[in-house]
Amino acid sequence: MKKNIQLLFLTILFSNDPPIAKQIPHQIQIHNQTRIDNYYWMNQKGDDWVLNYLNEENQYRDKVLANTTQLHKELYNEMINRLPDYENSVPYIHNNYEYRKIFLKGNDYEIYQRRLVTKKNREWNDILDINELAREFEYADVGWIQPSPNNQYLAFGIDTQGNYRYFIKILNLVTGELLKENIPNTWGKCVWHPDNNRIFYSEKDYTNRNLCIKQHWIGFNNLDDEELIFEEIDTQYSVYLSQSKSGRYMFIGSESTNATDFSFIDLQDKNLKINNISNRKKYHLYYPIQYEKSFYILTNSKNHTENKIVSTLISNPGVQYWKNLFIPEEGHTFENFTIINDHIIIKARHNVNPYFQITNLKNDSTFTIKFKEKLFYLGFKDNYDKDAKHFRFEYSSPTTPQIIYDYDLENYELISKYKRQLNNNFSSNNYNIERHSVMDKSNSAQIPITLIYHKDFYPNTGDNPVLLYGYGAYGSITDSYFTNSYISLMDRGVVIAIAHIRGSADLGKQWYNDGKMLQKLNTFTDFIDCANYLLKNKITTSDRLFAQGISAGGLLMGVVANMAPQLFKGMLIEVPFLDVITTMSDANIPLTTQEYNEWGNPEIRNYFDYMIQYSPYENITEQDYPSMFITASYNDSQVGYWEPAKYVAKLRQFKTDDNLLILSTDMTGSHSGPSGRYSGYKLIALEYAFLLDQAGFTYQGSH
């Protein structure tokens, strides 16, 4: 059999024809219906036929894109040369030490450093060099670092497979020695007990769900002796842990897509008693933090559509004791909050864009921090000290690289602590952001769409290449950070368009609810409406319009390709969720049970009937499709590599055009792609070379 596989591989290697996957009919029965999946066999990870098929597709990718080699190199070099040669994060204080991370030129990974706040000789000391850890692995990601209360140890989680299963390791910061601890199958984050002798962590089950909280004593490496603190038996929930800024309380949170349930442990209690805050209730989402003698809680309780802030005494945490503190204005939503130095800082949002609402808890004075750009990102940053004189946040926009601000809570001043400076003569003044509004096809919703472009190229004659990005799932926010790689497209005249479609929470919770479960089709038709808007308003033409979606956004791409292929010249479809029915019917696949409240459970007939209407894999048909560049990651734990692989194989079987269809599989990366600062740009540059080639650009040595 291996000889036959090798012959097939050699045949593909020296042929310009795309790979044709073998068909092995597999019957799937549900609701008295039998579906035949000819490519079901591709989920057999490690199988020789699977590996060779993926390699053949990668070989085909390289051949058909050989004409873009120089453009690919130019794009990649632009992207990495734009990065600063040296970068360091703004230091933050934790237990009388300052911590920061730095990137040195040529290094793929960060180096963590610290120094004593009070020491006169304030030289930085390297404490953890991820470049050294990563040398023996093809993939490495350090999710969190957590110093012990006495500053002697540093716990950190590292994923070396790209499957989001982190090993927790512990470093002795005094001796520089790595301890024997190597705790597998964790979320990566841990909480230190105040006695410095033990940590608490979240352990994953075989589906990658965070199953339970365990306690580990430092120095004991027999994992069979780990003490179970809490176990989440409902497979629709995943369990997480966090710690209050005071260090006294540990929160245990069970979370599904439409409900949360929190308990807490007073770490001064020798018995580690678990205290429930509010009983689990469907559609009840809440997130507590502790400040002084109270819990402050972000919640949607009592049928309040948008979040509000309530408070209750720690001694009486039950929902019946909750008192309303802050309720958003109509059309506004609260997303997150923190409390520092008697000030509650709420990250809120109105009409897509975020802002901060700050209230002094001592005198009730309230004010806001707002920015004027048409689209931007705000996020809390390293606010670990509950008594700090400032709170820190990050700002960026599609045209403005990252800025770190401290807001002085005593003098009410905004202080810039860091501005990311890019190389290659980058200037934000060369670019512009516009906000447009699109009426959906039923005249029931106005869909925001944001355009970002280089001022020298737009407005043009109506044939600008446009890359329309969409996601629209999980109630996530389509925040627009600064994206270094987009500059290389905009500098060549490509307009970046962002569709703020239903299924996101860009316009609040109801906007999300209107694009999930049995209203999911709104997400797809919103995106199509945005595409039609771009065409009807002569911003671009259908032979220069491209679409991009990642993960659940890849589902969006797959549906739109079936429903309205004529609108698009090409698509970038990255690690896409495409086989909705098969995946959501298999409880052994990561995320399935936790996402019944996002997509629906196909074992229930009305959900099955609705989901099968749009499932991209099920609805492939004999028609012309746009050119597609589709990515997969072999070790992806969020979306199995076989979903894009099966989709491509079936699409090759049915499509009636000669447009390029490329499957690019990263054999070592994760759902987020390759690890490392530079590695990810290689794939992005290849995708953009494909896009520009399809748009008619030719490499001429310089753009």
Whose CA is closest to 415, among 382, 393, 384?
393
Calculate mean pLDDT across residues 305-327: 94
Calculate mean pLDDT across residues 553-582: 98
Question: Dihedral, CA atoms, 685, 689, 695, 701, nearest 10 degrees?
Answer: 110
Of 506, 636, 666, 693, the active-site residue reads 636
Assign 3-class secondary structure to 483-499: CHHHHHHHCCCCEEEEE
Of 256, 301, 311, 551, the active-site residue reads 551
550 pLDDT higher than 50: yes
Q: Where are the domains of the chain?
A: 328-421
36 pLDDT higher than 90: yes
Name the one residue in this structure whose structure tokens are 């989680």: 157
Whose CA is closest to 501, among 430, 540, 549?
549
DSSP string for 427-482: -GGGEEEEEEEEE-TTSS-EEEEEEEEETTT-S-SS---EEEE----TT-------
Of 454, 671, 675, 693, the active-site residue reads 671
pLDDT above 70 covers what percent of the chain?
Answer: 96
Contact at 8 Å (CB) between 566 and 626?
no
**pLDDT for residue 1:** 46
Return the DSSP state at 507: T
Is 72 a residue of the active site? no
For residues 285 and 468, what is the distance between their CA atoms, to the nearest angstrom? 32
**pLDDT for residue 701:** 55
Is 551 a residue of the active site? yes
**pLDDT for residue 463:** 82
**Residue 609 CB partners (closer than 8 Å, separation 6+):** none
**pLDDT for residue 673:** 86
List the structure tokens of 683: 């794939």
List the structure tokens of 342: 């008697």
Least confident of 205-214, 431-440, 692-701: 692-701
Whose CA is closest to 357, among 335, 331, 384?
335
433 pLDDT higher than 60: yes
Res. 15 pLDDT band, cuts 50 70 90: low
Res. 431 pLDDT band, cuts 50 70 90: very high
Calculate mean pLDDT across residues 317-338: 95
pLDDT tens, position by position, 339-378:
999 999 999 999 999 999 999 999 999 999 999 999 999 9
Nearest 5°: phi and psi at 689?
-65, -40
**pLDDT for residue 458:** 81
**pLDDT for residue 303:** 62
Nearest 5°: phi and psi at 156?
-150, 155
For residues 253 and 187, what is the distance between their CA atoms, to the nearest angstrom? 13
Strands (E), 300-389: 308-313, 323-326, 332-340, 343-350, 353-360, 366-369, 377-380
DSSP string for 178-246: BPS--EEEEEEEEEE-TTSSEEEEEEE-TTS-EEEEEEEETT---GGGPEEEEE---TT-EEEEEE-TT
Q: What is the CA radius of gyration of the chain?
A: 26
Helices (H) and strands (E) in the chain, counts: 13, 38
pLDDT tens, position by position, 388-430:
999 999 999 999 999 999 999 999 999 999 999 999 889 999 9
pLDDT tens, position by position, 614-644:
999 999 999 999 999 999 999 999 999 999 9
